[in-house]
Amino acid sequence: MAKSKTLYPSWQRLLAELGENIKLARLRRRLSTEQVAERAAISRPTLSQIEKGEPTVAMGNYFKVLAVLGLEKDLAQVGRDDKLGRKLQDAELPVRERAPKHSSDT
């Protein structure tokens, strides 16, 4: 099965922004691509793809680069202020349950 590489344009923009932020963080720390790639145990081309926000790069590689830059704790902020989730929780919408499995006694 082939992997889909197509993302909604708004999602692609978010990834590109993440990549740009990672690149800016690297430059602020005055680290070369060679240094970050070596410390993250990834190749320079993979780091280049991360800095471009390429969706085909594994999430683990993004995390390794964030860790090298000292930004890994930023991931803990994801979903912290989940306004939609809290509204749904407060609305106490009923949770659908699956129908029981039928046993076939043949």
Q: Give the CATH number for residue 23.
A: 1.10.260.40
Q: With contact defined as beta carbons under 8 Å apart, do 89 and 81 qualify?
A: no
Residue with tokens 């609305």: 91
The confidence score (pLDDT) of residue 1 equals 45
| Within-domain flag for 82 | no
Average pLDDT over residues 34-43: 98
* Residue 14 belongs to domain spanning: 9-75
Average pLDDT over residues 15-43: 97
In this prediction, residue 46 has a pLDDT band, given cuts at 50, 70 and 90, of very high
Our count of domains for the chain comes to 1
31 pLDDT more than 60: yes
In this prediction, residue 95 has a pLDDT band, given cuts at 50, 70 and 90, of low
Amino acid at 15: L
103 pLDDT more than 50: yes
pTM of the model: 0.74
